[in-house]
Chain A
Amino acid sequence: MKRLLFILVLLFLAPARAAEPPQGVVANVAQGKSLYAANCSRCHGSRGEGLRDQGPSLKDVGALSGDFYVRTGYMPLDDPHAQPWRTRVLFSEQEIRSLVAFVATIGHGPAIPTPHWRSASVPAGKKLFTDRCAGCHQIAIAGGVLPGARIPSLNQATPRQIAEAVRIGPYLMPKFSRRAITPTQLNDIVAYVQYAKQPDDRGGWAIGHLGPWPEGMVTWLLAASALVATCIVIGRRQKRT
């Protein structure tokens, strides 16, 4: 019983811990510079100036962009023409911090945001999400497609990554300034996304949060099977008489 409780507590803590990177790891700009030279300079240029047809300039993108692209596994990208997609992160925590610290020294970019979403309003966030985000990401944060791009699901996005993506507008996503979406509104949006990861599914199975049609399909299948079964029973009785 004690062990079970312990496991439950661990399970409960695990996602919370994974959501925010651990503290107490020190960044080293010199190490970041060498990591940059090895992994990023081929496309972004040796000083982050960007290369034509290869990669954009990193001037003024700041720690915010660096943190987002590296922690999501969007970068490094194999093919500069491919869409960055969430993959395995290639660096250790310490390497990420160093790399981000180095990228932050290229120009004067924004720092990593800290969304305070726990006390934010989910209903307000849902309204904002419907207006600004759901067109592409779907109200169930499932993602989808767009001519020329795939739209990522937000299920794996951490609160910090959501806050960063809103400001960056990665790949084909529009960019939202602090005037377009205020920090308070951003907190609300993050709160909604966090809610939508584990929504309150009334009435049983979520079946992909697709709305009422999967339930309808299931009903049809059950009803059709029942009808066929009834027909067979009637047919057998008729034969006997």
Chain B
Amino acid sequence: MSRIKALLIAAIVLLLGRGRPRRERSEARIVPPGTPDPRAETLVLVLFAAVAVCGIAFIVVYAIDGIGHQTQLLGLALGLAFALLAVAFIVIARRLVVTEELAEPYPAEHPNEVETIEEILDESESRFTRRRLVKLAGTGALGTLGLAALTPALSLGPALDTDALTKTPWRRGRRLVDDSGKPIAATSIEAEAFYTAYPEGADRELIGSPIVVVRIGPGDEGVVAYSKICTHAGCAIALYRKPTFPDTQPGPALVCPCHYSSFDPADNGKVIFGPAGRALPRLPLEVDVDGNLRAAGNFSGPVGPSWSGVRQREARS
């Protein structure tokens, strides 16, 4: 515990006490000394704090899904942060940095140029009284803003827990229903057509819910079902191509309209074209006593777009 305390103190000292010691200078200033302006300085500090608050607000709004008008609030937070930052910079430039216009011929040789510029910079800060605090506030404001800008990257995928992605509402015995909620008879699935189905009594918005049903052969065994979500980028498999005359035309395929990933419905959803990296998850089917289609288990693999390690997972109910 005391170690943590010591580390914390060390960190604070490092953060606040860093920087070159002020050089001792008595004579020959380049920049005339300015009168300190504590009010403007406080204003800058307040503005920097407000920027940080906006940055944190962005992160909070992003993290909490239930908030209404989320997009607008995100835009407001980020926009305010930038606007306040701009105001802070304007205040610094107009009220705190010593300004002076000097005209002089450009020197032919400039051996001490670097040192002179450093001196100018150093002396220009003469109106700041709480230099480190302002620096800290500025770093804090920009840091929070940077964090806010990085937050959306979290949505690229679950960094730690991918369990939610493998869950689907399908389980053995769950009935397939059509768009209007009616059960689907196996005999009503016709050849050369395709159908979209959902799990009865489950949320249709879930990524594991929608499926495509096609007939690849006669009888109950000829009906197959696959996840409607492409394994590449997660678009809906909205295209089904089937030959009118198989002798001369390309074979049947479930096709995603986004990047033309094509899956073979007769071969467990194997990828036959396009950028998808793994087969379309197949849903095993069974027919109940009323002749309606029911799931006979869960998908053959995780549904939806792929992520690192997806092949090591299985779909769960």
Residues of A whose CB lies within 8 Å of any CB of B are: 52-56, 80-81, 83, 131, 134-136, 145-149, 168-177, 179-180
The smallest beta-carbon distance between B197 and chain A, in angstroms, is: 13
- Establish whether residues B248 and A147, one from each chain, have CB atoms under 8 Å apart when the complex forms: no
**What 6 A-B pairs come out closest when comparing CB atoms?**
A135-B238, A148-B250, A172-B241, A56-B245, A175-B192, A147-B273
Q: Given the interface contacts A135-B239, A172-B244, A179-B188, does A146 sit within 8 Å of B249 by beta carbon?
A: no
- Establish whether residues B190 and A175, one from each chain, have CB atoms under 8 Å apart when the complex forms: yes
Residue from the list A56, A80, A135, A171 in contact with B257, Cβ < 8 A: A135
The smallest beta-carbon distance between A23 and chain B, in angstroms, is: 31
- Establish whether residues A174 and B192, one from each chain, have CB atoms under 8 Å apart when the complex forms: yes
Residues of B whose CB lies within 8 Å of any CB of A are: 179, 188, 190-196, 238-245, 247-250, 253, 255, 257, 260, 262, 273-274
**Between-chain CB contacts (< 8 Å), 16 pairs:** A53-B248, A54-B248, A135-B238, A135-B239, A135-B257, A146-B239, A146-B255, A146-B260, A147-B274, A148-B253, A170-B244, A172-B242, A172-B244, A174-B194, A176-B193, A179-B190
- Establish whether residues B247 and A52, one from each chain, have CB atoms under 8 Å apart when the complex forms: yes
The smallest beta-carbon distance between A135 and chain B, in angstroms, is: 3
Which among A52, A148, A168 has the highest number of chain B CB atoms within 10 Å? A148
- Establish whether residues B244 and A169, one from each chain, have CB atoms under 8 Å apart when the complex forms: yes
- Establish whether residues A55 and B190, one from each chain, have CB atoms under 8 Å apart when the complex forms: no
- Establish whether residues A174 and B242, one from each chain, have CB atoms under 8 Å apart when the complex forms: yes
Identify 16 new A-B residue pairs, CB closer than 8 A, beyond the known A169-B192, A174-B192: A53-B247, A53-B248, A54-B247, A81-B248, A83-B249, A134-B238, A146-B260, A147-B253, A147-B255, A148-B253, A171-B243, A171-B249, A172-B249, A172-B250, A177-B190, A180-B190
Question: Majority SS of interface residues in chain B?
Answer: loop
Q: How far is the CA of A145 from the CA of B245 in the complex (A)?
A: 19
Q: How far is the CA of A147 from the CA of B252 in the complex (A)?
A: 11
Residues of A within 8 A of B188 (CB): 179
The smallest beta-carbon distance between A131 and chain B, in angstroms, is: 8
Q: How far is the CA of A169 from the CA of B196 in the complex (A)?
A: 18
The smallest beta-carbon distance between A189 and chain B, in angstroms, is: 15
Residues of B within 8 A of A134 (CB): 238
Which residue from chain B places its CB closest to the CB of A57 in the assembled complex? Answer: B245
The smallest beta-carbon distance between B257 and chain A, in angstroms, is: 5
Q: How far is the CA of A131 from the CA of B238 in the complex (A)?
A: 8
The smallest beta-carbon distance between A13 and chain B, in angstroms, is: 36
Residues of A within 8 A of B191 (CB): 175
Which among B190, B195, B249, B262 has the highest number of chain A CB atoms within 10 Å? B249
Q: Given the interface contacts A147-B253, A147-B273, does A171 sit within 8 Å of B248 by beta carbon?
A: no
Q: Given the interface contacts A52-B247, A135-B257, A172-B250, does A146 sit within 8 Å of B190 by beta carbon?
A: no
Which residue from chain A places its CB closest to the CB of B236 in the assembled complex? Answer: A135
Residues of B within 8 A of A52 (CB): 247
Residues of B within 8 A of A81 (CB): 248
The smallest beta-carbon distance between A144 and chain B, in angstroms, is: 8
Which among A169, A174, A176 has the highest number of chain B CB atoms within 10 Å? A174
